[in-house]
Each structure stands twice: as structure tokens, then as C-alpha cells.
Structure 1
Amino acid sequence: MAAHRKSRQRSLSGNTARTAATLALAGAATATAFDGTAHAAPQLTPAQVKAKVDKLYQEAETATQKYDGAKEKANATQRRLNTLHDQTARKQAKLNAAREALGSYAAAQYRDGGFSPAWQLALSRDPDRYLDGAAFAERAGARQASTVSLVRRQLREIEQLRGAARIDLSSLRSRQNELRRQKTTVTTKLDEARRLLARLTPVQRTEVTADAPVADHVSRSAVDVRVPLKASGSAAVNATAHGAPAGTNSRAAAAVAYAYTKLGSPYVWGATGPSAFDCSGLIQAAYRSAGVSLPRTTYAQINAGRRVSRAQLQPGDLVFFYSGISHVGIYVGNGKMIHAPNPSAPVRVAPIDQMPFAGATRVA
């Protein structure tokens, strides 16, 4: 009996040991997982983070341009809708006045009993006066017929205006939905980029978000005036341009000068200045300061002037990037541009070869 108990004890002891070992390993794995070391995502190198962030910024820029375009169209639709409402209100006021005039005429007819002219002549104590009055009434009747025709026409016009307003309202709602979709896309991409950058050390973040080294003081051959030049985060200094090339007009020079004054301004998607910009917003503001009206988006800006080749570039030309024409800068000479890069970089001078070149346009 004792031997039997001893044998069973050895068997249980072996099972217990194996079970304990299994539980210990599982517990260790679980604890390690909670500590975040066993199944942690592979650590990205700064170069990999840069590649991912650049892609996210490009996708966000594409969505930003779609947002800007939808916003521009939504604003135009809203203005058109407001105009239709104003026109409808004015025509409704005229219609109400015409209806009141018809109502007064109908009330007079009712008071006169609606007798035929023959009976009214027969019963009149002064036939001559009646005949004069009858001629006036006939003319008044013709005028009333004209008023009735006017009322009918006004009713048709008002219905047409209301129909156009219903179409515009439907279009406005569609564009507002598009705005919300693009806004969600932009914010999602930018949030993801921020999370990736947050994994880096401050030094690594600077390396990832910095453009290729460019001297703050660059040749400014397009500008023949003295304007303030701001390096990113530094105090403004004066820079004087020399030797404006032939063919560069004053509007292009003024647009370039404006862009220089905005160096260091933050990138904010959807912004058109005066203190923050997205890429196409900066271009639009620069040329607006020179008296030239440009469309809001990169897709429209590239068609706003005459196309020029890369070899023909002059200061003031618009330079576009990526196959989707999702980014734009203003050329300032010597292979460089001023642009609003992305939320991690302010308005700055950069080489045009740091992004895939898609085309250029001369608007002034």
C-alpha cells in the first residue's frame, strides 16, 4: 500500500513539474507582452520614418487640394444660392403688389354689381358722363389684363428661380459632404505622420523634417526691390536682388517678393494667409498681392497660364510636383523655389529637384 502511494506520488510529481514549467513560460511570455518587449513592432530607422512620413504628407496634400477645390465650389454655390434667394424675394414682392392691384379691381367690380355696359347706359341719369366713364373702364380693363399677364409671368419666373435654388442646394450639400470626407482624410494622414515623428528623438526629427540644405541668403534675380528676407525662425534681414532677367515682369517680381516676406510662416492645410498657408494658398496669395487672380487649387493653377519647360524657368513661374499635381511652389531662380512644404516645415526656400517635377506655368 505504501509502495503504491509512492509510485503515484512520483507520477503526479512529473506531471506537476511539466505543468508548472508550461505555466511559467506562459506567464513569462504574458508578462513580457504586457511590458511591450515580446511582440513590439519592429523599430523603424529614421530613413524609414522619413519615407513613411513623406508619403503621408503627399497623400494629405492631395486630399488638401481636393478639400480646397470642394470648398471653393461650395462657396461659389452658396453665393449663387444667396443671389437666387434675393432675386426670388424681389420678384415675390412685385408679385404681391400686382396681386393687390388685381384684388382692388375685383373688389370694384363686385361693388358695381358686375352689370353689363348696356344696362349701365340704360340706367344712367347722365349718358354722356357714363360713356366717358365706360371708355376709361375699358382702358382700365386692358391694363388689368396686362397685370394678369404680368402676374402669370412672374409666377413662372419665381418657380424657375426656386427650381434652380433646389438644384444648387442639392449641389451644396453634396460638396459639403465631400468637404467632410476630405477633411477626415487629411486629419487622419497628418495624425499618423505625427505619431511616427513622435517616436524619434529631437535630433532625428530635425533630420527627417529638414529639407536639403539651402543657404538662407540666395540669389534673387527676379526681384529688383529691397524686401525683408526671413529665415525659418530667424530675424529678418535685408536682401537686395540684382540683374532681373529679361522677360521677368513687375507682377512676377512682386509675387516673388511677397513669397520671400512669408518665409518662416507655418503650413496650415486649407490656409491662404496672411500668416499661414498651404502650398497652393501661398501661390494664390503671392500673386493676389501682385494684382493677379489665380484659382485655389494646384489642379487649376497649372492651367492658369502658359506652360513652360524646366529649362525655360524664370523667377515667378509656378512649379508643380508629383504625377497628381498635388504640390506647387514659386520659382525664385538658381534651381530653387519658395513653397509651403507640410505641417512639420514652415514656408521655406528649397531646391526644385527634391520632389518629382511635374511641370511649370508662367502666369504673369
Structure 2
Amino acid sequence: MASHRRPKPASRTRVTVLTAAAAAAVALSAQAANAAPAKPSKPTSVKDAKAQVDALYTQAEQATEKYDAANEKLKSLQTEAGTLQDQVAKQQQHLNTLRDSIGTIAASQYRTGGIDPSLQLFLSSNPDSYLDQATALDQISSLQTSALQQLQDAKRTLDQERAEATAKLTELQATKTELGNRKTEAKNKLAQAQAILNSLTAAQRAQIADDAARANRSTERPPMGGTPASGHAAAAYAAAQTKVGDPYAWSEDGPNSFDCSGLTSWAYRQAGITIPRTAAQQANYGPHLSMSQLKVGDLVIFYSDHHHVGFYAGDGKVLHAPKPGAFVRYESIGNMPFQFGVRI
């Protein structure tokens, strides 16, 4: 993706804001960040422990996807806010230039025999009030009228751009708060899952580790055959295949570790296509497909809130980054609640 560097104006008007709503959001964020993870109930068996841990991993992934969405929004807002602040600075500079030019007109009139009453008002201690009254004065020359109209327009534009910048910075602050909340939520869920594992005996933990290793080993081989959905889908899927065995990691999008949507977005970048970062966004990025319509390289969306995504690998399999503690691997599409496919 191309990057655009903002020009640095000679002087910059700093626009800062923290509304009551944003302040309240920050306070709530602090409370969430300081809240300790709830103590999980002690599992009664290895099966119970695995069920609890998997449920917490699912909740952590939901929070991670929301964190990723907030992070993408934050990057966009930072760019937009910076652009608006640059526009405000340039418009202020333009306004100052217009005021200087009207001052020049006043000086010229003084040298030729006096200052028009309207310009006397402009040169008073409150020139902004002059802008509201000047157009009502019918004794101004055509040159003065044109200059004053430009000044009014410039001030109106400046006020509008300042309001837009203020609103954008307020949204930016709220997004930063959301980012912190989601990060805290995901880490709390992972901490709860770890607490459950820590409560088990050494033998029980070894059994769970063996089960996870067996699951990874059993899905190392890709399905045979299958028609790709398109050339770029085939290229993205081929890139994802090179990451089989790489670890799942919270909010990562490569090149050596991934969360679910991190893998799919990374793979499509290797195919020369930029897709949205999160599973929920990817779910709406192309036409929806039934299971019978799926082809290799199509995205596959799981769960009713669309928080998990992978690649259709053919033969009823999906290639995805499953969950914490697991690796990028092939798995039966029926292991998760399928919602629909997406063709890009």
C-alpha cells in the first residue's frame, strides 16, 4: 500500500481536544485494565479442562479480532487527523495573508487621505467581529468588498476544518480506549485459560499436550486436487500453505506467526491483493457461497459473529491458524460452525 507523507507547514495550529465522553471512556478503560481475570472454576476432568480452555480461547479470539479492527481504524484515523491538522494550519496561514492584504489596503487609503470607517473597524482590537458586520456596510469600494468576502470565506472554511479536526481527534481518543479494552480482554481470557491448565496435574497437562501434538501431526498433509477459485485465490492459498507449522499468535499477521485473519490477509498480500484485516471485515469483502460452491482458495467464515476465517483447501478441509497453542494446519471444515464462503 502506498504511503503519503504530509507536507510540513511553516507554522502549525495545534488542535487538541478531550471531551467529557472521551474522558469517561478513558476512565472506563483504566478500570478494565486494572480488573483482575475472574478465577476459573476448577475442572473436574481433562475433558472438562479442554472444554473450558477452548471456550476461553474462542473468547480471546473474538476480543483479538475486535482489537485488530480497532487497530486498523486507529491507523486510518491518525492519518486523517494529521491531514486535517495540516489543512487547518494552511487555512490559518491563508487567512493571515488575506488579513495582511486588507491591512495594506487600509494603509494605502490612509496615505491618500483617510481610512474608510469599515477598515477602522477591521483594525480594531476585535477584527473577527468586523467580519460579521462588514458586509452590511455599503460604503466599501469594490476592491475592499472582494477582499472582505474572501476573508469571510476563509474564516468560514477555517472554522469548519477546525470542527472536523476536533471531531476526528475525539474519535481517535475513543478508538485508543477501545484498543486498550480489547487488548485487556484478550489477555485476561488467555490468562484464565493458562490458570486452568496450571491447575491440572502434570500427567493431565501432558495428556492435553499430546492431544494437541497429535492434532497438528494428523493435519500436516494437504488435501489432494481441487479446482482453485481464481488465479489470485490460488496464489494466496499457495502462500498460506508455506506457513503450515507456523504458530498461532495473538494479533499477528506474519511473516512467522499469525492469528486467523492475519494468515488470510498476509497470504492475499503475497498474491498482490490487499484485503481487510479482520475476519468480520473479510466476511463482507466478496460474494457469499454455500459449502457446495466452495473452491480452493475461497475464504471460509465460521461462527455466527464471523470471528474466525480460513482458506478452503478442498476435500472438505480448511487451512487456518486455529487458536493459541496450535499451529497453522489443515483441519476438517466440520470441526467449526461453518457460516459461508467468500470469493475474492
Q: What TM-score comes out, normalization by structure 1 length?
A: 0.71
SS of residue matched to 1:319: strand
Q: Which of 250, 263, 271 is matched with 2:244 structurally?
A: 263
Evaluate the alpha carbon distance shift between residue 110 and residue 200 of structure 1 in structure 2; reply closer, same or farther with a 3 A threshold.
Answer: farther
Aligned match of 2:212: 209
Q: Find the counterpart in structure 2 of residue 318 from structure 1.
A: 299
SS in 2 for 1:359: strand
Q: Which deviates more from structure 2 when the two are superposed, residues 312-321 or residues 100-109? A: 100-109
2:64 equivalent to 1:77: no
Change (3 A) 1:166 1:279: same
Query: 2: distance between equivalents of 1:304 and 1:322?
Result: 17
Letter matched to residue 286 of structure 1: A
Partner of 1:338: helix, strand, or coil?
strand
Q: Cα RMSD between the aligned structures?
A: 2.3
Distance 1:332 1:157, change over 3 A: same
- Amino acid paired to 2:265: Q
Q: Counterpart in 1 of 2:156?
A: 156
Which residue in 2 is equivalent to 1:343? Answer: 324
Cα offset for 1:248? 3.0
Amino acid at match of 2:206: V
Q: Residue deviations 1:156-214, cap 9 Å, x none?
A: 00100111111111111111111111111100001111222233535323235343763
TM-score (norm 2): 0.74
**SS of corresponding position for 1:267:** coil
Structure with more relative contact order (C-alpha pairs < 8 Å, separation 6 or more): 2
Q: Secondary structure at the match of 1:54?
A: helix
Q: How is 1:91-240 mapped onto 2 (pairs within 5 angstroms)?
A: 91-114=91-114, 142-198=142-198, 199-201=200-202, 203-210=206-213, 211=215, 214-219=218-223, 221=225
Q: State how far apart, in whole Å, the 2-side matches of 1:64 and 1:215 are.
A: 25
Letter in 2 for 1:173: Q
Q: Which residue of 1 aligns with 2:282?
A: 301
In the alignment, which residue of structure 1 is the partner of 2:25?
A: none
Instruction: State the 1:249 CA deviation.
Output: 1.8
- Which deviations, in whole Å up to 9, do the C-alpha atoms of 1:33-89 show, x marking residues without a partner? xxxxxxxx8663221111011100101111111112222222222221111111111
Deviation, 1:279, is 0.7
Matching of residue 254 in structure 1 with residue 254 in structure 2: no
Any gaps of 5 or more consecutive residues in structure 2?
1-40, 117-139
Asked if structure 2 preserves the Cα contact closer than 8 Å seen for 1:214 and 1:351, the reply is no
Summarize the Cα distance change of 1:152–1:49 in structure 2 as closer, same or farther, 3 Å threshold.
same
Q: Could you tell me which amino acid in structure 2 is paired with residue 305 of structure 1? A: G
Q: Which amino acid aligns with 1:352?
A: I
Unaligned runs of 5+ in 1: 1-40, 117-139, 223-244
The share of aligned pairs that are identical, in percent, is 40
Structure showing greater radius of gyration is 1
Partner of 1:52: 52
Contact 1:267 1:277 in 2 (8 A): yes
Shift of 1:252: 0.7
The question of 1:284 aligning with 2:287 is answered no
SS in 2 for 1:349: strand
What one-letter code is carried by the residue in structure 1 that aligns with 2:89? A
Counterpart position of 1:3:
none
The Cα of 1:153 is off from its aligned counterpart by: 0.5
Q: Is the 8 A contact 1:69 1:296 kept in 2?
A: yes
